[in-house]
A and B are shown apart, each in its own frame.
Chain A
Amino acid sequence: MTSDLSLSLISLSLTEGICQRLNSGDKDDESLWNSKPTLQFLSIKKVVASNNAGAPGNSNSVIDRYRIIISDGLHFLQAMLATQLNFLVEEDRVGKNTVAVIENMSCQHIMDKRLVILLGLKVLQRDVPKIGNPSPLNIPPPQPASAPGPAAPVSSSAAAAPQLESRPAMNRANPIYPIVALTPYQNNWRIKVRVVQKSDIRHYSNQRGEGRLFSVTLMDDSGEIKGTAWNTMVDELFERLQENRVYFVSKARVNLAKKKFSTVSNDYELSLDRGTEIEECHDVDVPVIRYNFVDLQGLQGLEKDAVCDVLVVVKDVGDLAEIMTRNNKMTQKRDLTVVDNTKFSSRLTLWGKQAEQFNSSSDSVIAFKGVRVSEYNGLSLSLLSSGSMAVDPDIPEAHALKGWFIDGGAKTSFQSHTQAGLSSGAGGPINRNEMRTILDVKEAQLGMSDKPDFFSMRATIMHIKTDNIMYPACPTPQCNKKVMETHDGWRCEKCDRSHEKPEYRYIISMAVGDYTSQIWLSGFNDIGNTLFGMTGNELRRLQEENEAKANYIMLNATCQPYNFTCRASQHSFNEQNRVRYGIQKMLPLDYRIEAQALADLLRSPWAQ
């Protein structure tokens, strides 16, 4: 700030007419709001605004605010000083009659009145005698203090005060931002969002100790973002934030999103911490959940693990089942069969609470948001824990779907991706156009990069390794861990129990070849079942009873051609990097289909 001495020599002239323009000009006129007018502060009054949003534990519970009457010589106008500038008043740098250049200001809309917010200013001179004889603008008629919050002690004439005090939490310095505009570099923002999903409280422990967290998915018209509350904030916010309600959120920390833990499509995510302010919004115009629907037929075009939304009719509701996950936790799951008007059906799996609480009947139209495409037993869908479902949503697509279903859609026969996956080579996982020869696979060095590669091919089995063709496995479904023989049975470490008899599962290592080359593939139980036509247990029994016959069966499995989908990935064995080819699907050839494909190929332009 330049010294008063030099300033007293400068004749101070205020930006006349600016008050009128600020009050009634175009609120989106950037040049207006970026102009740096010189104004005189006719009076500064402190206003005690307590945060009435009822947020316990919010540390900024009482903030002083200063209301300033700004004058341009012609008119005077109400304005508020941004809280970050409070120190100017407290340190006596601005006071009554100070003239300053407003370097940064913005405009707040409350109902349909405007309030100018002074965000940045440069004092030109303090204590200048009042310039001009300004007349009042923007002083609304005195209103009864109908505010729900505590009436703040306001002494000035501006009756806009009760209006302000009634929504003190609205006196953020900023207008409402769209979610897409949030960045870590700017924290004077406020968003108006709907909670579309709230997770359960989860416990975690890492090197630094233990903790709790829960997260919410927030959405507005522009996009969505995830917000997480940790430890003590969990207690404060878990009850306050309810699904499907709309809130104003500001002063949360914007961090880079940890994509591993979230499937929300935003590069950033919010940390709801001590300084965050959350206030419920009761406006009528609130952001509605936006969907990006893919129809069931279009699922084929999506990659494995892609996340999408679907709008479907539930045709069949499975029972609630308990299964054990990899981490030895029990989880509930429920399978639904869903269909839509592209005449396709699919399986959709619900997990945990969503599975437990599902109580819609079949034939209801449901919109699922946040569904992952997976290839477990053919194409199927899985509702993510961060996803949500809305039964009979009030959107035009849902009405159209329901209309189709009632009109006879229910009776059509549906094609299922699942079947396509299991039939021999009729689409599904065998991508005929992308079939490769073995030499091609080797030369293209598939699997050499960090990510596994997938490919399809047709080859004939040349040789199956017969030593170590199976292992004793835990018979608990989904477990499959190798069990050790102990004095009281076969013990599984994972399930922590012993079984009387193990289930023998195959580990197949075999050499396959086509007209170009030969490679080794590895496969598991399913592959063995297909090769030999019998389960591991049966083959083992046969080996014990009639070894010759068992050998014959194994030998007979060679020289058969199959269609394969394989996965090539790198593994290191004792410091050596090797590519291993694992079999995902092995399908016997349906000559009819294969021959037809060949015939088509001969007729295609390739053969001309």
Chain B
Amino acid sequence: MSDDQGSPRVNSARLKNYLGAGHPVRVTGKVLNFSDDETHLLMEAPDGGKIKVLLPPPPQTHGVTDTFVEIVGTVVDASTIKHMVCINMGSDLDLNLVNQAIELSFDSKFRGRLF
């Protein structure tokens, strides 16, 4: 989960920090709805903000089946990411807890040691 190799887990507020970063980020959240033509979906980030996820056109599949998912993708703008990979996380997830984990991971006290 370190910056230079993997994709850090962020919430909606931190999205803008990674604009043009070159590496993707991951957002864990709850799928709110799909667009009619399935070009994008709307999800709720752990801090409550709404993020638009641009989905790949067919024949690629987005793989979103569960209510809670983690989307790995590149940042398009402060509230949009482009889907690369999706991890399904079931139907019960405490987003508040996830948010706490995200915030803690950015806390300078813990950054190098725990995360």
| Interface segment, one of A273-281, A481-489, A594-602 | A594-602
For the complex, is A577 an interface residue (Cβ under 8 Å from B)? no
Q: Which of chain B's residues have a CB closer than 8 A to the CB of A395?
A: none
CA gap between A595 and B94 in the complex, in Å: 10
**Chain A residue with minimal CB distance to B110?**
A602
Q: Which of chain B's residues have a CB closer than 8 A to the CB of A596?
A: 94, 97, 100
Beta-carbon contact of A595 and B101 below 8 Å: yes
- Minimum Cβ distance to chain A for residue B92 (Å): 8
Most buried by B among A596, A602, A603, A608: A602
For the complex, is A607 an interface residue (Cβ under 8 Å from B)? yes
Beta-carbon contact of A602 and B104 below 8 Å: yes
Q: Of A592, A602, A607, A608, which is within 8 A of B94 by CB?
A: A592
> Which bracket fits the contact residues of B?
under 10
Query: For chain B, what secondary structure do more than half of its interface residues adopt (helix, strand, loop), or is it mixed?
Result: helix
Q: Which of chain A's residues have a CB closer than 8 A to the CB of B100?
A: 596, 599
- Minimum Cβ distance to chain A for residue B94 (Å): 5
- Minimum Cβ distance to chain B for residue A600 (Å): 9
**Chain B residue with minimal CB distance to A607?**
B109
Q: Which of chain B's residues have a CB closer than 8 A to the CB of A602?
A: 104, 107, 110
Q: Which of chain B's residues have a CB closer than 8 A to the CB of A603?
A: 104
- Minimum Cβ distance to chain B for residue A273 (Å): 69
CA gap between A595 and B93 in the complex, in Å: 12
Q: Which of chain A's residues have a CB closer than 8 A to the CB of B109?
A: 607-608
Binary interface encoding of chain A residues 577-608 relative to chain B, with 1 for a CB under 8 A from any of its CBs, else 0: 00000000000000010011001001100011
Q: Which of chain A's residues have a CB closer than 8 A to the CB of B110?
A: 602
**Chain A residue with minimal CB distance to B99?**
A599
Q: Which of chain A's residues have a CB closer than 8 A to the CB of B97?
A: 592, 595-596, 599
**Chain A residue with minimal CB distance to B100?**
A599
- Minimum Cβ distance to chain A for residue B73 (Å): 25
Interface residues of B in 45-102 (CB under 8 A from A): 94, 97, 100-101
CA gap between A599 and B96 in the complex, in Å: 11
- Minimum Cβ distance to chain A for residue B72 (Å): 22
CA gap between A592 and B98 in the complex, in Å: 10
CA gap between A596 and B99 in the complex, in Å: 11
Q: Which of chain B's residues have a CB closer than 8 A to the CB of A592?
A: 94, 97
**Chain A residue with minimal CB distance to B114?**
A602
CA gap between A596 and B94 in the complex, in Å: 10
CA gap between A599 and B103 in the complex, in Å: 10
**Chain B residue with minimal CB distance to A608?**
B109
Interface residues of A in 79-102 (CB under 8 A from B): none
**Chain A residue with minimal CB distance to B101?**
A599
CA gap between A308 and B94 in the complex, in Å: 41
Q: Which of chain A's residues have a CB closer than 8 A to the CB of B104?
A: 599, 602-603
CA gap between A603 and B109 in the complex, in Å: 11
Q: Which of chain B's residues have a CB closer than 8 A to the CB of A595?
A: 94, 97, 101
Q: Which of chain A's residues have a CB closer than 8 A to the CB of B107?
A: 602
Chain A interface (Cβ < 8 Å from any Cβ of B): 592, 595-596, 599, 602-603, 607-608
A-B pairs with lowest CB-CB distance, top 10:
A599-B100, A592-B94, A595-B97, A602-B104, A596-B97, A592-B97, A599-B104, A599-B97, A599-B101, A602-B110
Q: Name 18 A/B residue pairs within 8 A (Cβ), A-sorted.
A: A592-B94, A592-B97, A595-B94, A595-B97, A595-B101, A596-B94, A596-B97, A596-B100, A599-B97, A599-B100, A599-B101, A599-B104, A602-B104, A602-B107, A602-B110, A603-B104, A607-B109, A608-B109
Contacts A592-B97, A599-B104 supplied; 4 other A-B pairs, CB < 8 Å? A595-B94, A599-B100, A603-B104, A608-B109
